[in-house]
Amino acid sequence: MARAATTSDPFNAVAEPRRRQILTFLAADERDVSEIVVAVGLDQPSVSKHLGVLRRVGLVRVRRNGRHRLYRTNAAALKPVHDWTETFERLWRHQLERVKERAESQMNPKPPSQ
Amino acid sequence: MARAATTSDPFNAVAEPRRRQILTFLAADERDVSEIVVAVGLDQPSVSKHLGVLRRVGLVRVRRNGRHRLYRTNAAALKPVHDWTETFERLWRHQLERVKERAESQMNPKPPSQ
DNA sequence: ACATTACATACCTATATGGGAATATGTCAA
DNA sequence: TTGACATATTCCCATATAGGTATGTAATGT
């Protein structure tokens, strides 16, 4: 089989750097498409397609205002990604602690325990 | 251009469900490839290829033990993903609070302020 | 109605898979 | 050395893009 559809879930949606860039850009305020086009430096149809993907997985919300469409990030849809990585947080904290301990024992060496 | 290489960064690596499954499986203990094959239900070459991707982005570590290769999750490599989603955490917390407030005001309606 | 603006969508192409089959590589055991 | 076992790699194909070009569509101004 080929690669899974990027439209299927937030993990795939945020795998694309441009889409992460868009989500960051839309995190603070709502913006229309032309502003996003300027911000990411792609042409308009490409941006619209990225917005389509983000829309389908619920990562952005749209509101019409006359001819403009105002997009904004729907951060809640990122929670599954955050939660999944969170389950590994304890592991890397342990790991970093071990690294830190090793560094400290280098600075202030203890004799090897018999 | 085509889709970005999945080997390029942790975001792409964890976009694949099978790889997330593998990372979860390898989070607790180290396991050899045949155990992973059983766990995810793919054939061995496919698993080896997924492990190759995870290796290249540093999401797993390998240790040889005779004919076996023992893999384990390197959780620290997930930190960039966690950190990025973390920057949106404040936003979805606000959002959830608004939802909660609305729910509460439904349960105990207040008269509209003049 | 007509032109213009702001987007979305359709279509096209190069590319990067994901998975399976076959094969190569590496390691141990007798 | 020979064989068996554990993995990795190569080759193949179907598929899903990402981005660009061309086009469709909705809303506004005159």
Q: Give the separation between CA A88 and CA B28, rounded to whole angstroms.
A: 10
Q: What are the backbone dihedrals phi and psi of residue A82, each rounded to the nearest 5 degrees, phi first?
A: -60, -45
Quote the pLDDT of residue B113: 44
Beta bridge partners of B63: B70
Which residue type does B50 have? H
**Which CATH number is correct for A10-75, 1.10.10.10, 3.20.20.140, 1.10.260.40, 3.40.220.10?**
1.10.10.10
Chain segment B73-97, per-residue pLDDT in tens: 999 999 999 999 999 999 988 877 8
- Which two tokens mark A104? 């400290």
B75 and A88 in contact by Cβ < 8 A? yes
Nucleotide nearest to B66 (CA to C1'): C27
Q: Residue ranges per domain, chain A?
A: 10-75
Q: Give the separation between CA B54 and CA A40, rounded to whole angstroms.
A: 29
Cα of A64 vs its chain's centroid, Å: 25
Q: Averaged in consecutive runs of 10 residues, what is the pLDDT profile of chain A (114 residues)?
A: 69 96 96 96 96 96 96 96 95 83 72 46
Quote the pLDDT of residue A95: 77
Q: β-pairing, A68-73 with B68-73?
A: unpaired
Q: Is the pLDDT of residue B107 over 80?
A: no
Q: Domain B10-107: give its CATH code.
A: 1.10.10.10
Quote the pLDDT of residue A1: 63
Q: A44 beta carbon < 7 A from strand C?
A: yes
Beta bridge partners of B73: B60
Cα of A85 vs its chain's centroid, Å: 12
Q: Sign of the C-alpha dihedral, residues A22, A25, A29, A33? A: negative
- Which two tokens mark A54? 């983000």
Q: Which residue's CA lies closest to nucleotide C5 at its C1' atom?
A: A67
